[in-house]
Amino acid sequence: MTKLTFFTFIVLATSISFIFLETPPKSFYHTLFISDSFSDNSSIANHLYTLTKRPHVAGSQANADAAAYVLSIFTSCNIPSHLTSYDVALTYPVSRSLTLKSSEKTIKFGLFQEIYDGDPYAEVANEVLPTFHAYARSGTATGPVVYANYGRVEDYATLREMGVNVSNTVVLARYGKIYRGDIVHNAHAVGAIGVLIFTDKKDYGGEKWFPDDKWMPPSGVQVGSVYDGIGDPTTPGWPSTGECERLSDEEVDEGGNVPLIPSLPISWADGDAIIRTIGGKVANVDWQGGKDSPIYRVGPGPAIANLSYEGQQVISTIQNVIAVIEGEEEPDRYASLTFNFS
């Protein structure tokens, strides 16, 4: 969840078991990578399946279990490995709400991800946290909606050229092209008071979706951090251990890397419902949606969005799994390969 404090060497974990064998032909590795059969316990598919069977958000017991699993795989391959724990500032959602009021109707969004026929994760659905942005600002934003494409700096330049004033509006942007934390940051920089980020089928969709295809279903939501810095926001540049010194909330805000306006990630279906209420000028061709989408307009409004998010910050223990494989050439030099398993 945090970008860098929370990494592991999972990529190694999945390929390590062959290292001590005679070098097998390349096609062997290839087979393990693409195998969708779980019968070989050392296949990528099998490890991935095991690690993704349950949700395991950073700081949870399930995530500690995932770390222990990765450690056990390394250890069983005779790779010197260990866990290092850190006590980091994480955020979890307490409440969220989103309504959209137009002259015709008020839409109250449920903000929840549906379970689909054949969904292999249905039985653990209640372990999934409500959709949220980690490190999102708590607060309420009420204003007309402006559609801002991917929320890049150049997208706001385009809006300005179109005569759209983003100040005091709630921005609707779509995922893709830039980091979600920058989407929130850029919106704040032009005076927006809240941000909704949806997954557009144009960028992340096809005819079918999970569990029949790789794409997220219409109610699926991409979550993740909106923190723009590295690691734990309360310990920039030093390790988050035990009773270490930490920045206060005010100092964190002044650092400029945490968002200063609230944001919510939303699904394609919810984004589509909002788009349909936005009036104003027709957006450029490259701002439009995919096949079967309505015409995207930029707003502002006329519908008024009310976005509300409240999160809580906790100091929670997370683990890094560290495995060291000594190289044959220049063994005193380190090349680090990291992966995030939250």
Ligand X SMILES: *[C@@H]1O[C@H](CO)[C@@H](O)[C@H](O)[C@H]1NC(C)=O
Q: What count of Cα atoms within 13 Å lies in the side-chain half-sphere of residue 110?
A: 6
Residue the block writes with tokens 């010194």:
245
* Least distance between ligand X and beta carbon 99 (Å): 7
Q: Provide long-range contacts, Cβ within 8 A and 24+ apart, for 251-255.
A: 255/229
Identify which of residues 54 and 177 has a Cβ nearer to ligand X in the complex: 54
* Least distance between ligand X and beta carbon 24 (Å): 17
* Least distance between ligand X and beta carbon 116 (Å): 27
CB 12 within 8 A of CB 19: no
DSSP string computed for 154-200 = HHHHHHHHTT---TT-EEEEESBSB-HHHHHHHHHHTT-SEEEEE--
Identify which of residues 168 and 320 has a Cβ nearer to ligand X in the complex: 168
Using CB under 6 A as the criterion, which residues of the chain lie in contact with ligand X when the complex forms? Answer: 41, 97, 140, 142, 165, 167-168, 306, 308
Identify which of residues 52 and 167 has a Cβ nearer to ligand X in the complex: 167
* Least distance between ligand X and beta carbon 142 (Å): 4
Identify which of residues 169 and 240 has a Cβ nearer to ligand X in the complex: 169
Tokens of 93: 């959602």
- CA 92 distance to own-chain centroid: 13
Q: How far apart are CA 150 and CA 186, in angstroms?
A: 10
Identify which of residues 17 and 219 has a Cβ nearer to ligand X in the complex: 17
Dihedral sign from CA coordinates of 124, 264, 216, 144 = positive
* Least distance between ligand X and beta carbon 170 (Å): 11
* Least distance between ligand X and beta carbon 21 (Å): 15
* Least distance between ligand X and beta carbon 199 (Å): 23
Tokens of 162: 């179109």
Q: How far apart are CA 210 and CA 199, in angstroms?
A: 14
Identify which of residues 47 and 133 has a Cβ nearer to ligand X in the complex: 47
CA-closest candidate to residue 136, choices 220, 246, 228, 227: 227
CB 84 within 8 A of CB 239: no
Indicate the burial class of 154 (C-beta count within 10 angstroms; 0-12, 13-18, 19 or more).
exposed
CA-closest candidate to residue 305, choices 145, 109, 174: 145
Identify which of residues 99 and 340 has a Cβ nearer to ligand X in the complex: 99
CA-closest candidate to residue 227, choices 128, 91, 57, 342: 91
| Integer angstrom CA distances of residue 103 from 56, 111, 141 | 42, 22, 19
CA-closest candidate to residue 221, choices 264, 188, 273: 264
Identify which of residues 41 and 284 has a Cβ nearer to ligand X in the complex: 41
* Least distance between ligand X and beta carbon 191 (Å): 7
* Least distance between ligand X and beta carbon 168 (Å): 4
Identify which of residues 49 and 238 has a Cβ nearer to ligand X in the complex: 49
Q: How far apart are CA 188 and CA 194, in angstroms?
A: 8
